[in-house]
Amino acid sequence: MNPKPRVLVARRAPAEVLERLAAHFEVDAVAGDVPLTPAELRERLQGKAGAFITGTERIDGALLDACPELRVVATMSVGFNHIDVPACSAHGVLATNTPDVLTETTADFGFALLMATARRMAEGERLLRDGGWKSWSWDFLAGSDIHGATLGILGMGRIGQAIARRGRFGFGMSVIYHNRSRLPADTEAELGARYMSKDELLREADHLVLVLPYSAAAHHSIAAPELALMKPGATLVNIARGGIVDENALAEALRAGRLAAAGLDVFEGEPQVNPVLLTLPNVVLTPHIASATMKTRLAMAGLAADNLIAALTGGTPPTALNPEVLSR
């Protein structure tokens, strides 16, 4: 009998997922929550046919050169900017991610962050806990309305569309968007969303939510010139990737009161946060938890496992990023 293929689970994973993997593979599972260093990852991947990873494990050409037995990399994330997919294809390695299962959960969070930011909830909570609530005054912690406002969405994929639905049908917002490619007319009509150039979007949005995928081309898509185009007093929310926003430029726009507030779930140097942002009252900071409900995280882990199992047992992985590798 052939020995079971060996796989690495690079981060602590749900017990039921480890059990499923163990039925098919010899599993080397990292138990802790501290990411492996690149050298440790390379070392632990020796002799492994598959890797179950998360957004914190970087897979690039050099790593693939050093791990010639690797055939599948399954990330438990929809974002895959930590995987060099062309390098995977060149090495004959299948890469998979976990789209769809997190769409609604992530959109819920994006909307919650928008509301917390525009309505100054975190600032109010901090003030109350610190004993700063002394009396009522007419403009005490006055923020800006969500209902009826113009919601701008940069990046109109699945999550962007789910946020658009919340804004349009839940809060009567006017929805405008920019995306690399325009949505089909019937989708635009269903969402009540108007397409416009990025500059127009920046000028018109009362609240701008960033949901675009990160790539080198998208690096600092929102920097000082873009922030200068935004409406005075607008709100910015980033649930995409930290590198999309120039954090120093954002901090300056917030400090100067050019933007009313920002809500950030993602950061350039995660888990480190730009120290200037930490000092500003008008920014809500959360630790990259947009997809973090128990149900959704289990679904993401389950889908990553489905991909790994299918890819290494002759099946069809449900969400492959480079499926052409399978037909070689």
CB of 291 to ligand DGY, least distance (A): 5
Catalytic hit among 288, 297, 324, 328 = 288
Catalytic hit among 166, 241, 247, 297 = 241
Q: Which of 70, 12, 32, 49 is nearest to 59 (CA)?
A: 70
Of 97 and 150, the one with the shorter C-beta distance to ligand DGY is 97
CB of 23 to ligand DGY, least distance (A): 25
- Rg, C-alpha atoms of the chain: 22
Of 70 and 102, the one with the shorter C-beta distance to ligand DGY is 102
CA 125 to CA 118: how far, in whole Å? 14
Asked if 120 is an active-site residue, the reply is: no
CB of 106 to ligand DGY, least distance (A): 7
Asked if 270 is an active-site residue, the reply is: yes
CA 191 to CA 185: how far, in whole Å? 10
**Pair 267, 239: CB distance under 8 Å:** no
Q: In what order do the strands lie in the sheet with 150-154?
A: 193-195, 174-178, 150-154, 207-210, 234-238, 259-264, 283-285
Of 44 and 158, the one with the shorter C-beta distance to ligand DGY is 158
**Pair 259, 237: CB distance under 8 Å:** no
Of 107 and 230, the one with the shorter C-beta distance to ligand DGY is 107
**Pair 197, 180: CB distance under 8 Å:** no
CA 73 to CA 97: how far, in whole Å? 9
Of 55 and 152, the one with the shorter C-beta distance to ligand DGY is 55
CA 277 to CA 64: how far, in whole Å? 36
CA 36 to CA 72: how far, in whole Å? 18
CB of 51 to ligand DGY, least distance (A): 16
Asked if 178 is an active-site residue, the reply is: no
CB of 65 to ligand DGY, least distance (A): 26
Of 78 and 260, the one with the shorter C-beta distance to ligand DGY is 78
Place of tokens 């806990």: 129
Interacting residue ranges for ligand DGY, rule: CB under 6 A? 55, 77-79, 102, 291
Q: Which residue is nearest to ligand DGY (CB)?
A: 79
H runs (alpha helix) in the chain: 15-24, 38-44, 61-66, 85-90, 103-118, 121-129, 158-165, 171, 185-191, 198-204, 224-229, 247-255, 275-279, 294-312
CB of 55 to ligand DGY, least distance (A): 4
Residues tagged active-site = 241, 270, 288
